[in-house]
Amino acid sequence: TGMTTLDPGFGNTASCSSKITYIDGAAGILRYRGYSIEDLAVGSTFLEVAYLVIYGELPEPGQLKEFSEKLRENADIPAEMGAFLDAMPRNGHPMALLASAVNTLAAYYEDSVDPSDEAQVELATIRLMAKLPTIAARIYRNSIGEQPIAPDDSLGYVENFIRMTFGDNAADGELGDLFGKAVDLLLILHADHELNCSTATVRTVGSSQADIYASVAAGINALSGPSHGGANQAVLEMLDEIRDSGVGIEEFLERVKAREVRLMGFGHRVYKNFDPRSKEIKGLASQILDRDENPDELFTLALKLEAAALADSYFTERKLYPNVDFYTGVIYRTMGFPTNMFTVLFAIGRLPGWVAHYREQLHDPAFRIARPRQHYIGSEERRYPGLS
Ligand code: CMC
């Protein structure tokens, strides 16, 4: 083991070659399969991006239609699974429930758990994409004590998720037609991000030849932590706390600099100038929340917090900038999502990426079980005292 290099957090270790996502952290560039997220944000839909990320090319109109139809046909969950979801703790964190539910898909659909059979992996891909929004919406409905709403196969992917979550009146709210478009854009911006913690987890679990459901469930669990996807929830809790406690922004930043707390939604392993997703999301937030007469209170607070941090050398010296999670929460709250559902939205967005990486790995000529080494720093050989 003297030959191995210690690299905590894999900051400098590439564990695979990939064709899915390109990131230039210094220049703030993010591309899926060669297409910039700025272009996709303007011209695409989440379903088209999901297809692109998973299958490698933009779909022809006929292919997109077929993909979309398959997802509609598979959106239902088995009645027994519904009963299982209904029996889980209603106040439990939706990410815990979501991961458990996805894990059980392997038990409900044993005809799609063999990674060596391409048709099975494809079937599982469709089932995961089709059912994740149905499961997520049911978890939400249970948490507020409301009846589930079955998928409606006349609706598009995102519209259907919104309707299963909020019912028919979602579009009557403050956001109106912008609601669906905004959710779609947020999902596009989350679709993949190369070897982030959850995707690396999906690959690691999949590298043992575990099935795709088990691997994605593991990804959901990795995403739940506040250093990763759970940051979107943590940002909103931080903003609420700053507002409710009356602690000033300067005072809060002093606590961050004293390492008592982290500034949630700031910092990134790869982006050292700006996070291009955060730029897009801030633009969306301004569009929705920067209303002339009645600007959103938390959005205004977030803007001030960002400006104060970026004016402070602690943050600039360490190249800490707002990441994808900084402005999402204020948008999700305006849409009516409870704070603990924010990371579930991230999971729905990231699913195409997880699936694409799992599938790419199966065809990688260098495919090998993930098995890092360690540097042992424990005690030398000791004699067990029972042997005299
Ligand atoms: N607030 C205060 N200081 C920070 C922060 C922060 N959010 N992030 C990093 N630092 C400091 C850190 O203390 C260290 O300082 P020093 O060199 O003096 O010890 C320096 O910046 C480098 O930090 P690091 O911990 O080595 O950075 P990392 O690449 O290991 O961690 C990170 C990346 C995202 C986990 C971290 O920046 C963080 O905890 N951010 C807050 C949580 C968050 O917003 N996560 C979302 C990440 S983006 C999308 C996603 O995955 O969901």
Other CB atoms within 10 A of residue 376 CB: 8
- In tens, the pLDDT along 11-43 reads 999 999 999 999 999 999 999 999 999 999 999
What whole-number distance in Å separates Cα of residue 229 and Cα of residue 286? 22
Residue 177 is predicted with a pLDDT of: 78
Task: Please state, in angstroms and as integers, the Cα–Cα distance from residue 77 to each residue in 159, 349, 368, following that order.
Answer: 18, 19, 34
Q: How confident is the model at residue 2 (pLDDT cuts 50, 70, 90)?
A: low
Of 155-164, 275-284, 292-301, the poorest mean pLDDT is in: 292-301
Return the pLDDT at 171: 65
Give the nearest ligand 1 atom to 326 CA.
44
- The residue whose C-alpha atom lies closest to atom 45 belonging to ligand 1 is 227
In this structure, the residue with its CA closest to atom 14 of ligand 1 is: 318
- Specify the length of the chain in residues: 388
Ligand 1 centroid vs 74 CA: distance in angstroms? 39
pLDDT score at 172 = 65
- Residue 243 to residue 298: CA distance in whole angstroms: 8
> What is the per-residue pLDDT for 270?
97
Q: Tens of pLDDT along 151-173?
A: 999 999 999 999 999 998 776 66
3-state DSSP assignment of residue 207: coil
Ligand 1: residue whose CA is nearest its atom 2: 262
- Between the CA of 257 and the centroid of ligand 1 the distance, in Å, is 12
At residue 132's C-alpha, the angle toward residues 83 and 339, to 5°, is 90
pLDDT on residue 294: 81
In sequence order, the 6+-apart residues with CB closer than 8 A to the CB of 197 are 222, 223, 225, 227, 228
Residue 45's Cβ-side half-sphere holds a number of Cα atoms within 13 Å equal to: 13
Query: Which has the higher per-residue pLDDT, 187 or 177?
Result: 187
The answer to ipTM > 0.90 is yes
pTM summary value: 0.97
Among 140-144, 177-181, 280-284, the minimum mean pLDDT is found in 177-181
Instruction: Please check the confidence at residue 229 and state whether its pLDDT lies above 60.
Output: yes
Catalytically active residues are 268, 325
pLDDT for the residue 176: 74
DSSP string, 266-308: B--SS-SS--HHHHHHHHHHHHHH--SSS--HHHHHHHHHHHH
Question: What's the chain's average pLDDT?
Answer: 95
pLDDT digits (tens, 9 = 90+) for 317-357: 999 999 999 999 999 999 999 999 999 999 999 999 999 99
Nearest residue (by CA) to ligand 1, atom 41, is 264
CA 342 – ligand 1 centroid, Å: 20
Percent of the chain with pLDDT over 90: 93
- Ligand 1 site, residue 231, Cβ cutoff 6 A: yes
End-to-end CA distance of the chain: 32
Q: Is 23 helix (H, G, I), strand (E, B) or coil?
A: strand
- In sequence order, what E strands does the chain have? 21-24, 29-32, 35-36
pLDDT band at 8 (very low <50, low <70, confident <90, very high): very high
What pLDDT was estimated at residue 292? 74
Report the separation in Å between the CA atom of 52 and the middle of ligand 1, taken as the mean of its atom positions. Answer: 30
Nearest CA-CA partner of 21 in 223, 276, 209 = 276
User: What is the C-alpha separation between 186 and 183, in angstroms, rounded?
Assistant: 5
Q: Is the CB of 253 under 6 A from ligand 1?
A: no
